[in-house]
Amino acid sequence: MIKLTNVTKTYRMGDITVRALRGVSLRIDPGEFIAIMGQSGSGKSTLLHLLGLLDKPEGGTFEFLGKDIAGFSDDDLAGLRSETIGFVFQQFHLLSRTSAIDNVSLPLIYRRHSHHAANPAGLLEQVGLGERLTHRPNELSGGQQQRVAIARALVNQPVLLMADEPTGNLDSASGREIMELFQRLNQAGITVIVVTHEPKIAEYARRVIHIEDGQIKSDEVRVPGIASAKAVSQLATASSPEVALPPWQEWSRKFWIHLQQASRALFINKLRTSLSALGIVIGVAAVIAMLALGSGAQSSVSKQMAGLGSNRLVVRPDAQNIGGVRQQTGNVSRLTPKQSEQLTERVANIKGVSPEVRTRVQIVWGGRNANTEAAGATTGYLEVYSAKPAYGRFFTEEENQTRQRLVLLGATVVKSLFGEINPLGETVKINRVPFQVIGILPLRGASGPRDEDDVVVVPLQTAMHRLLGKNYYDLINITAADAQSVNQVQEDVLQLSKSWPKLPGTTEGSYRVDNLASIQQAFTAVTKTLSMLLAAIAAISLIVGGIGIMNIMLVSVAERTREIGLRKAIGARNADIMMQFLIESVVLCLLGGLIGVSFGTIVVLILSKITGWGLGVSVLSVLLACGSSALVGIGFGLWPARQAAQLNPIEALRSE
């Protein structure tokens, strides 16, 4: 069954080398019950670890079930351990906070075959703990805990049971019970190897091997080991090739188990979980809020821009240099009705032309007065500014031509003059001239520091002749036929303007033609940059959150080193351990992500109230947030998980 020939093992710690085993040759047959005895430090545990495939020898040869294990990988050994060996340790190594039955079931996670597993509840019954299935280790006595550990060792129906000082932490009565249990198992066909330094314990064995300073001193068969038929047949089953589960099935099974375990572990450590996920929560909330804010700002800007007119061009006199001082654009107005007509006649693809004059005015109603901007406009204003009145009506072209004294008020003006009173039909005085209120302009909102609702609109002709007494325009709005022709129209208008009389004091072009579409594009670019900046902030907080996760995962790995050692001893492969910790960190991050999404949504709702932008959280941004938190979980969990996976099982078990 096991054959060691001249096996050696040396430990090196800095300059000191300890030759723990110096040439051990040994043959173990099925059905034996062996006690390995010797003083502390003589190499018993080292030998048992080798026999149990937890470690590889340095020199000599080692055959296990007829195969030389020299060429076996870590995972091959883990597989062999899971299929053939059960371990019992002096410190029991039960998972705390886990019920007896779940502890016993643990090795089942790592089996690769669908048959010959024992029933965990039946096993607990067999070791006399049938009533204690759901008890946790801290609710059991030492002897009971060790019996749980023995049941765990038996769950994969091993052919070999190995125990390192199984009674070392027990009182003598419990110790006796454990040894009697081993005896019964041996009689049932399992090969048992027990390491002990107590002669009393060794008495239960059929064969006693003494070692001293890493060498076998005596090997005495007390009761001939009967290679029972059962032992031989069990051995045959164990070494026969078995049908493994398809890999995907095996991994999905493990995935769910690990998911459950991770969720439970995180649930048990509630405070710690929530604190370590805090960074992710904030990061994800930031992602959600930023995305909503970004798109909200963008849509609000384009809404405002639509109010300023799409496909719109504005012609106005350029700034003048008077005595070398550059004046404000449009300071001196020289746009005539004739020029306005030329535009419609000579430039193609123009849908509408709408001249305007602007001036500051004093407006009075009853005892109240306000200072506001008056725009003298034609009916073209209606389309250029999408200014369909919220209440009342716009004036007609005829009313404009006949210089009617009619006015439409912006919301701010209504508020300051009328308060809650309905202004329609009232007469206000603009610069002491009475005007009848016929409509209220639609709500526009503020663009920057400028209040777009602090305005009144009167007919162009009325403004020019009754308010201002001038016969030229301040600017001419042009609406291009469609978006494609805007640039061409701009070019043509500029050409045309060169034939117009030069304004005094200007140098090159006297007129400028502004394309509002390009301003809109510039605005959009600005908001895009803004959202990107905000996204960068979100990314940084996610990275910081990820580092927090990595930190807590490293702590978790360090805390659970013995658990990892145990899992490996009972057959977990490196990939299993890696998966366990990766899942834990991803679950942690996703949890943070979900909380972050709800938190972010609340923030968005509040921001929406404050800005009045009607912000919303899109499905895409939720998916993006969850996806990025899962990625953070994988990215930052990888290193701790690798640390865990690469632990050496013996050293991990020995750690405190």
Q: Report whether 463 contacts 357 (CB < 8 A).
A: yes
Q: Rank residues 164 and 454 by Cβ distance to Mg ion and give the closer one.
A: 164
Minimum separation from the CB atom of position 195 to Mg ion (A): 6
* Separation of alpha carbons 406 and 415, rounded Å: 19
Q: Rank residues 50 and 552 by Cβ distance to ligand ADP and give the closer one.
A: 50
Both structure tokens of 209 = 């091997």
Task: Report what 11 binds from Mg ion, ligand ADP, none; CB cut-off 5-8 Å by kind.
Answer: ligand ADP
Contact residue for Mg ion among 45, 84, 354, 462 (CB under 5 A): 45
Residue 7 three-state SS? strand
Minimum separation from the CB atom of position 270 to ligand ADP (A): 37
Contact residue for ligand ADP among 33, 35, 45, 155 (CB under 6 A): 45
Task: Report what 43 binds from ligand ADP, Mg ion, none; CB cut-off 5-8 Å by kind.
Answer: ligand ADP
**Which single residue brings its beta carbon nearest to Mg ion?**
45
Q: How many residues bind Mg ion (CB under 5 A)?
A: 1
* Separation of alpha carbons 542 and 540, rounded Å: 5
- Encoded amino acid at 126, one letter: Q
**In the chain, what is the straight-line distance between the N-terminal and C-terminal CA atoms, in Å?**
34
CA 455 → CA 373, 441, 475, distances in Å?
A: 5, 9, 17
Q: What angle do CA 341, 342, 344 make, to 5 degrees?
A: 70
116 sits in which H/E element: none
Minimum separation from the CB atom of position 164 to Mg ion (A): 6
Q: How many residues bind ligand ADP (CB under 6 A)?
A: 12
Q: Does 276 bind ligand ADP (CB under 6 A)?
A: no
Minimum separation from the CB atom of position 198 to Mg ion (A): 13
Q: Does 15 bind ligand ADP (CB under 6 A)?
A: no
Q: Rank residues 41 and 366 by Cβ distance to ligand ADP and give the closer one.
A: 41
Q: Rank residues 45 and 506 by Cβ distance to Mg ion and give the closer one.
A: 45
Task: Report what 46 binds from ligand ADP, Mg ion, none; CB cut-off 5-8 Å by kind.
Answer: ligand ADP
Q: Does 656 bind ligand ADP (CB under 6 A)?
A: no
Q: Rank residues 14 and 501 by Cβ distance to ligand ADP and give the closer one.
A: 14
Q: Does 17 bind ligand ADP (CB under 6 A)?
A: no
Contact residue for ligand ADP among 15, 40, 246, 499 (CB under 6 A): 40
Q: Rank residues 40 and 96 by Cβ distance to ligand ADP and give the closer one.
A: 40
Q: Rank residues 212 and 250 by Cβ distance to ligand ADP and give the closer one.
A: 212
How many other β-carbons are positioned within 10 Å of the β-carbon of residue 461? 18
Q: Does 42 bind ligand ADP (CB under 6 A)?
A: yes
Task: Report what 42 binds from Mg ion, ligand ADP, none; CB cut-off 5-8 Å by kind.
Answer: ligand ADP
* Separation of alpha carbons 656 and 649, rounded Å: 13
Hey, which residues between 475 and 504 contact ligand ADP (CB under 6 A)? none
Residue 619 three-state SS? helix
Task: Report what 145 binds from Mg ion, ligand ADP, none; CB cut-off 5-8 Å by kind.
Answer: none
Q: Does 18 bind ligand ADP (CB under 6 A)?
A: yes
Stretch that binds ligand ADP, among 40-48, 67-75, 346-354, 547-555 (CB under 6 A): 40-48
Stretch that binds Mg ion, among 45-53, 207-215, 439-447, 502-510 (CB under 5 A): 45-53
Q: Rank residues 49 and 466 by Cβ distance to Mg ion and give the closer one.
A: 49
Q: Rank residues 43 and 166 by Cβ distance to ligand ADP and give the closer one.
A: 43
φ and ψ at residue 192, rounded to 5 degrees: -120, 135
Task: Report what 633 binds from ligand ADP, Mg ion, none; CB cut-off 5-8 Å by kind.
Answer: none
Q: Does 11 bind ligand ADP (CB under 6 A)?
A: yes
* Separation of alpha carbons 593 and 587, rounded Å: 9
Task: Report what 309 binds from ligand ADP, Mg ion, none; CB cut-off 5-8 Å by kind.
Answer: none
In terms of DSSP bridges, do strands 446-447 and 433-440 run parallel, antiparallel, or are they unpaired? unpaired
Both structure tokens of 70 = 């020299």
Q: Rank residues 347 and 566 by Cβ distance to ligand ADP and give the closer one.
A: 566
What order of strands is seen across the sheet that includes strand 207-212? 85-88, 160-164, 191-196, 33-37, 207-212, 215-221
Stretch that binds ligand ADP, among 24-32, 43-51, 382-390, 483-491 (CB under 6 A): 43-51
Convert 561-594 into a string of H (helix), E (strand) and C (coil).
HHHHHHHHHCCCCHHHHHHHHHHHHHHHHHHHHH
Q: Name every residue whose Cβ is closer than 8 Å to that of residue 443 and which is 6 or more positions away in sequence.
A: 390, 411, 453
Q: Name every residue whose Cβ is closer than 8 Å to that of residue 228 and which is 6 or more positions away in sequence.
A: 31, 187, 189
Minimum separation from the CB atom of position 627 to Mg ion (A): 49
* Separation of alpha carbons 369 and 456, rounded Å: 13
* Separation of alpha carbons 447 and 300, rounded Å: 10
Q: Does 59 bind ligand ADP (CB under 6 A)?
A: no
Minimum separation from the CB atom of position 21 to ligand ADP (A): 8
Radius of gyration in angstroms for the set of CA atoms belonging to the chain, rounded to a whole number: 44
Q: Report whether 311 contacts 483 (CB < 8 A).
A: yes
In terms of DSSP bridges, do strands 446-447 and 450-451 run parallel, antiparallel, or are they unpaired? antiparallel
* Separation of alpha carbons 337 and 356, rounded Å: 11
Q: Rank residues 45 and 261 by Cβ distance to Mg ion and give the closer one.
A: 45
Q: Rank residues 11 and 255 by Cβ distance to ligand ADP and give the closer one.
A: 11
CA 115 → CA 149, 243, 323, 354, distances in Å?
A: 22, 9, 101, 88
CA 567 → CA 138, 238, 570, 633, distances in Å?
A: 20, 21, 5, 23
Q: Does 196 bind ligand ADP (CB under 6 A)?
A: no
Give residues in contact with ligand ADP (CB under 6 A): 11, 13, 18, 20, 38, 40-46
